[in-house]
Structure 1
């Protein structure tokens, strides 16, 4: 989905701002990404709201293949490679052009999801999976990554009765995902904002806006 910018929204002239919202399944990433996009649009910014996987036509096909196939139908390494392929295409055709046009890009998931899910939870290795994604996106990292921290138990309750192939994994898998995200944030705290996903939605929105406002002021 792409938010149409107001007529007077700033475009071009300088690189935009790249924001990623990450976290385990059921953390509320889409809700917070949508809220942030609306708020920035109200301030007059050109906003590109996107997601991984599924931010492009190719991505939607890959998403269906990986997330809605039978359990065991995609091996761990194939899963990592498919997500990296989606990310390479997404960045080349959506994210980078929007940033070069001066837009603010908000993505629901980015390369940290691959590190947490395939690197940590699938136990393919943090470094290997991160290097694969960095190669795919030619080193492009978000200016800020918001991590919504959720326990496996709370995430399962929030997801309800419908689960894709990854969401159906056990709590031990989702605990490794959670630790993967927190480990990444702990390594570069200046580039992350970690928030408790169980906090009231308005409180989370306020914390995210405050951090983004600081980035915009520095820009």
Structure 2
């Protein structure tokens, strides 16, 4: 995949989960811990991570709930991801950095594939064609009951199109991430996001430090 690198995919870690589960809180905490251990760490997000992808993000997440169909969302997310991978993720992996990404392909599988009705196989076929690599070595799914996640979002204020979708949609999102965790237990770890933030951070650190070359 990356000439001259040493198993760079081993340094690609993604955070997943529904809205309000705490990804934006926990990802920087993990980055701080890894930097203290001497790792070069890049933090990024999807959709976004580059100037062009952030503009696509603005299109995708803003506006009315029904602004885009799931198929249009898929195309927007994929376009943003191609730019993000080419400009940020692969260059960082090639130099041996640890990449921590807030959302990646599993969010597309869940939001557009499962909850959106397009089907996970359709999502995977498109990504296998356009972005066969990289794939994360570890995915951390922060899991929280929908009611608690909604309360957190309300307390934080604001929100976009996806936050405004109904409870049934968010229940499908939660179930979708848990289904992927069951499908790929070697890659995906479910973390109880209902615990207090320090305990969540400790659980996440345990999963990450168990990876080869990460515990130094």
TM-score by length of 2: 0.91
Give the distance between the partners of 1:29 and 1:130, measured in 2 at CA: 24
Distance across 1 between alignment mates of 2:171 and 2:55 = 28
Question: 1:119-158 to 2 correspondence within 5 Å?
Answer: 119-158=113-152
What runs of 5+ residues in structure 1 fail to find an aligned partner? 1-11
1:178-217 equivalences in 2 (<5 Å): 178-217=174-213
Q: CA deviation at 1:61?
A: 0.4
Of 37, 51, 56 in structure 2, the residue corresponding to residue 43 of structure 1 is: 37
1:34 lines up with 2:24 in the alignment? no
After TM superposition, the structure 1 stretch with the greater mean CA deviation from structure 2, 140-149 or 198-207, is 198-207
The more displaced of 203-212 and 111-120 is 203-212
Match of 1:163 among 151, 159, 163: 159
- Determine helix, strand or coil for the equivalent of 2:165: coil
Give per-residue Cα distances to partners, 1:130-183, cap 9 Å, x unaligned: 222333322321010000012221111111131201110001000100111011
Match of 1:64, SS state, is helix
CA RMSD of aligned residues (A): 1.6
* Structure 1 range deviating more: 205-214 or 51-60: 205-214
Q: Is there any run of 5+ residues in structure 2 with no aligned partner, and where? A: none
Match of 2:78 among 81, 84, 87: 84
Contact 2:181 2:188 in 1 (8 A): yes
Ranges of 4+ aligned residues in structure 1 off by more than 3 Å: 216-219
Aligned length: 208
Question: TM-score, normalization: structure 1?
Answer: 0.90
